[in-house]
């Protein structure tokens, strides 16, 4: 009887170790996914002043739009540095909105549109935006796996014992989910 009890205890301990190691892997995948986003946000953060400086040379009357981009860049940076996923979602929306407005206004400045540095920066920032969107999807998937696993039985027993925490999804702001009014683009 003692041998059976010992065998059952060994199996339970080994199973708990497997669960623990699996949860550690998942938690580290969430951290890695966040780090990937962080790298891209930093790269974009470094490119934006160059874009603003290039635009300032041509867009003398668009100071308000340039200021919005600068302020949004600062909010994104603050949220990124503090790892505040909730604040980052809102700040990202403001930055994307400001950049969209800036690129739309650039259409009114033929010299700016023809400027090689502007075109390069516009392309680089657009590429970074796409990469951030891809990484955000991967991050949210990693967070979802983490959050589901720490709530499932028997994993939740190990998760609670070792204080594994749920992670925050990087959520889309409601405006990003709305349909785009294409007629505005043609009438503007």
Give dist(CA 81, CA 72) in Å, integer: 14
- For residue 146, with 0-12 CB atoms within 10 Å meaning exposed, 13-18 middle and 19 or more buried, which class applies? buried
**Segment 59-88 mean pLDDT:** 87
Specify the residue for token string 């003398």: 60
Which CATH number do you get for residue 116?
1.20.1440.20
Domain count across the chain: 1
Is residue 31 assigned to a domain? no
Give the pLDDT confidence score for residue 174 in this predicted structure.
53
- For residue 38, with 0-12 CB atoms within 10 Å meaning exposed, 13-18 middle and 19 or more buried, which class applies? middle
Q: Cα angle at 133 between 130 and 135, to 5 degrees? A: 110
Quote the strand ranges of 55-124, DSSP E: none
Tell me the residue range of the domain where 56 lies.
43-177
pLDDT tens sequence across 169-183: 988 665 544 444 434
Is residue 76 assigned to a domain? yes
Is residue 13 assigned to a domain? no
Give the pLDDT confidence score for residue 113 in this predicted structure.
81
* More confident position, 112 or 40: 40
**Segment 64-91 mean pLDDT:** 89
Is residue 14 assigned to a domain? no
Is residue 24 assigned to a domain? no
CB distance 122 to 50 below 8 Å? no
pLDDT tens sequence across 22-71: 999 999 999 999 999 999 999 999 999 988 888 888 777 778 888 888 99
Is residue 184 assigned to a domain? no
Helix (H) / strand (E) containing 80: helix 63-81
Give dist(CA 152, CA 188) in Å, integer: 52
Give the pLDDT confidence score for residue 175 in this predicted structure.
52
Is residue 51 assigned to a domain? yes
Is residue 20 assigned to a domain? no
Give dist(CA 117, CA 121) in Å, integer: 6
Q: What is the percent of the chain with per-residue pLDDT over 90, rounded to a whole number?
A: 52
């Amino acid at each position: 009887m003692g041998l059976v009890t010992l065998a059952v205890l060994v199996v339970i301990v080994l199973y708990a170790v497997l669960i623990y190691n699996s949860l550690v892997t998942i938690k580290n995948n969430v951290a890695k996914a966040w780090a990937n986003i962080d790298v891209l946000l930093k790269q974009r953060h470094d490119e934006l002043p160059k874009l603003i400086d290039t635009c300032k040379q041509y867009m003398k009357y668009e100071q308000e739009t340039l200021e919005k981009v600068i302020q949004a860049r600062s909010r994104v940076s603050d949220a990124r540095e503090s790892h505040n996923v909730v604040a980052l979602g809102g700040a990202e929306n403001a930055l994307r909105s400001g950049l969209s407005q800036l690129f739309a206004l650039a259409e009114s400045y033929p010299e700016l549109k023809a400027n090689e540095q502007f075109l390069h920066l516009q392309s680089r920032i657009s590429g970074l935006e796409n990469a951030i969107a891809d990484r955000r999807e991967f991050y949210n998937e990693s967070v979802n796996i983490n959050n589901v696993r720490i709530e499932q039985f028997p994993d939740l027993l190990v998760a609670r014992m070792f204080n594994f925490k749920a992670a925050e999804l990087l959520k889309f702001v409601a405006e990003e989910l709305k349909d785009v009014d294409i007629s505005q683009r043609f009438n503007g």
